[in-house]
Amino acid sequence: MYSYSQFDKDFVQTRVDQFRAQVERRIDGSLTEEEFRPLRLMNGLYLQLHAYMLRVAIPYGTLNSAKMRQLAMIADKFDKGYGHFTTRQNIQYNWPKLNEVPDILQALADVEMHAIQTSGNCVRNVTADHFAGAAADEIEDPRPTAELLRQWSTDHPEFAFLGRKFKIAITGSPNDRAVTKAHDIGLRMVRNDAGEPGFEVIVGGGLGRTPMIGKVLREFLPREDLLPYVESILQVYNILGRRDNKYKARIKITVHENGIERIRELVEERFVLQRAAFGEFNHALFNDIEAAFAPPPYISASTDAFDAAKSSDPAFRSFVDTNLSAHKNDEYAIVSISIKKQGDTPGDATSEQMRVMADLAEKFGHDELRISHEQNVILPHVHKSHLHEVYKTLQAVGLGTANIGLISDIIACPGMDYCALATARSIPVAQEIATRFDELKLEHEIGALKIKISGCINACGHHHVGHIGILGLDRAGVENYQITLGGDGTETAAIGERAGPGFSADELLPAIERLIYGYLEIRADEHETFLQTYQRLGAEPFKAALYPETKIAAE
Amino acid sequence: MARPFKPKVLTANRLIEGDVVYYAANGEWVSAHENAMFIEDEAEANDLLAQANAQSYLLVGPYLADAVLERGKPVPTHFREAFRTRGPSNYDHGKQAEA
């Protein structure tokens, strides 16, 4: 775990003190809302439908038990006893009071956390593969590079007022769990012919109003060149990007309008100057960062008890089948804790649950936790001999749901239950779908399926890359839901295709049921996933299942 | 041609708590939509909005929202405004808790 340097501490503390004074001046009337708004947004404080919302950064999704316990304390003392984990590996509090926000920020600073750059047209919290440092398929842990990017981007004066927000994601694995192709910049670690690790640089991806899959700007970039190269991209975007139209201001539009070749030319031109300006790569600094992410002191012990529990406890076996992933150490496993119990709000954890997860991390997980962009919590390093006890402890507080990657493991943005930008609700839709398929006991039979729901076109719920995407809209004053099919957020990223006319809130669940029953009928066998069937047969049979009346009319 | 004026309520969020509030006929800001002043005159609506904008020490983001009268009380016409009268649908953490 990276620990703050004195510089980091001083910087974060200064920002807390500044914001405390700004809040005081807002409350005593010296600042108008117009003057205060950009200041509060720089500190992650939004005003939503029913209350303020504070978005706290969890850099590259990594935290330890002390941080998680502090998040739980904040939920109890300043909020309503829970927090919401987001698709950008952040946590959001939905009910803070303005006059208490400086105290919350102080409590965060006390454990080396903050809410800086979680809003505004700046470089946002850098996200990373949530299995980083543990995954069996990983080339190298990408988090030292993510931390380097954090240090570089924090309060970078040239990029504090970009044309629009800017999101960077990074993965060290060929299997992309960080959705790098849907970010302004995606960094995928690859090896060159000499076997050295570097990055494939992807630019111009993004979802929202105009979804785009990112394009490869550089096939191989040595790590030593990363900061000058990324800075060159930002400089080109800062000058070339549009400021006349908010909806055309993201770098995806800049890339689309100018062409990837032109962008590459400009970036490479800039890069020559930037590399000279940056000078020698600071190996000592990077080695220090790398040391902070060194693998934990793994233990070695018999895993017989794990095998025995798997045979004797069927519920545990089900958990093992869905919620564990391969660790680079054979005796270990990566545990995904589902924050998606059927019927509950996706991504919401109570303070008690946070404390239990913190305790488990401390006792059995080398004190490490991760937040995934899929709104789940990860224990990245658990020895197999401890898994049964971890499972039973989770089960006791409603965290033992065995549904990772299944139909009820739904990404859902807060939607119009909280968000001021939303055009429809998403949480109740997720709750209904998850509850229904749990009742039907079909989840495991359906197998791997990603449903992603957004409550507006901004696509925080990543609906474009859901195997089934659901977009909530306002159609003439009524909530209406559009379905997209065949999206993919991995290394084979694809934007889902719109299936047809939208459905009312009442029609949506039956439509999803028809779609799933349709899939179960046409799949080649039980191993062919929804996405594979879609890729094999195309949209038509799925559309026929969704719109049976159209089929009859056509006949 | 100017479109006919649709009746409104004046709403905002409280500065400290962020709670949704409505302007009542007695000049106070209240939490229940049904106690909001039903504004049928466009000039009056704009005057009240201007006054609310001047109360930035108390309020954030005042605006006029469409409403109709039902059994003599103002009711929102759009689902977004209906949600604001009660709170989120996943927990009783909003105004539902007060009801």
Is residue A130 a contact partner of residue A120, using CB atoms and an 8 Å limit? no
pLDDT digits (tens, 9 = 90+) for A524-537: 999 999 999 999 99
Q: Does A340 touch chain B (CB under 8 A)?
A: no
Query: Within an 8 Å CB–CB cutoff, is residue A508 touching chain B?
Result: no
| A552 pLDDT more than 70 | no
Domain count, chain B: 1
Amino acid B36: pLDDT: 98
CATH value at residue A45? 3.90.480.20
The reply to whether B17 touches chain A by the CB within 8 Å rule is yes
- Return the axis-axis angle of helices A226-240 and A143-153, rounded to nearest 10°: 50
E-state strands within A48-184? 52-56, 62-63, 82-85, 91-93, 127-128, 168-171
- Could you tell me if residue B70 is inside a domain? yes
> Is A420 within a domain?
yes
- Assess whether A539 and A436 both reside in one domain: yes
Q: With an 8 Å Cβ cutoff, are A52 and B91 in contact?
A: no
Full domain range(s) for residue B43: 8-97
Residue-wise pLDDT for B71-87, tens only, equals 999 999 999 999 999 99
Scanning A439-498 for CB atoms below 8 A from B yields 474, 477-479
Please tell me what DSSP assigns to residue A60.
Answer: G
Nearest to A47 among B61, B79, B88 (CB): B61
Where in the sequence is the domain holding A497, given as residue range(s)? 411-554
In a domain, B42, yes or no: yes
Alpha helices in A28-142 (DSSP H): 33-42, 65-78, 101-110
A187 lies in the same domain as A277 = yes
Is A147 found in the same domain as A288? yes
For residue B99, what pLDDT is reported? 64
Pair (A327, A381) in one structural domain: yes
Question: Cβ B15–A418 below 8 Å, yes or no?
Answer: no
Helical spans, DSSP H, in A187-303? 226-240, 251-258, 260-278, 283-292
Whether A401 is in a domain gets the answer no
Question: Could you tell me if A107 and A76 are in contact, meaning their C-beta atoms sit under 8 angstroms apart?
Answer: no
Looking at A110, A130, A153, the residue that finishes a domain is A110
Complex confidence, ipTM: 0.96
Q: What is the pLDDT of residue A498?
A: 97
Please give the structure tokens belonging to residue A108: 């965060």
pLDDT at B3: 83
pLDDT at residue A125 greater than cutoff 70: yes
- On whether residue A12 sits in a domain, the answer given is yes
**Predicted pLDDT at A551:** 55
- Residue B31 forms part of a structural domain: yes
Q: Model confidence at B97, in pLDDT bands (50, 70, 90)?
A: confident
Residue A118 resides in a domain: no
Provide the residue type at A448 as one letter.
A
Contact of A379 with A369, CB cutoff 8 Å: yes
> Same domain, yes or no, for A390 and A422?
no
> For A293, what's the count of Cα atoms within 13 Å in the CB-facing half-sphere?
21
| Residue B61 C-alpha, separation from nearest chain A C-alpha, in angstroms | 8
Structure-token pair, residue A295:
């693998």
Residue B1 falls inside a structural domain: no
**Is A266 found in the same domain as A172?**
yes
Cβ of residue B79 closer than 8 Å to a chain A Cβ: yes
User: Looking at CA atoms only, how far is residue B42 from chain A in angstroms?
Assistant: 22
Are A389 and A519 found together in one domain?
no
Instruction: Judge: B13–A47 Cβ closer than 8 Å, yes or no.
Output: yes
Number of domains in chain A: 4
Considering the domain architecture, whether residues A389 and A477 belong to the same structural domain is answered as no
Mark whether A86 and A172 lie in a shared domain.
no
Co-location of A392 and A416 in the same domain: no
- Which among A50, A416, A431 is the nearest to B20, CB-wise? A50
Whether residue A555 has pLDDT greater than 50: no
Nearest to B88 among A52, A98, A418 (CB): A418
What residues of A are in contact with residue B87 (Cβ under 8 Å)?
Answer: 50
**Does a structural domain hold residue B2?**
no
Same domain, A280 and A149: yes
Q: Which residue of B has its CA nearest to A46?
A: B18
- CATH number for the domain spanning A502: value is 3.30.413.10
- Residue A50 and residue B15: Cβ atoms within 8 Å? no
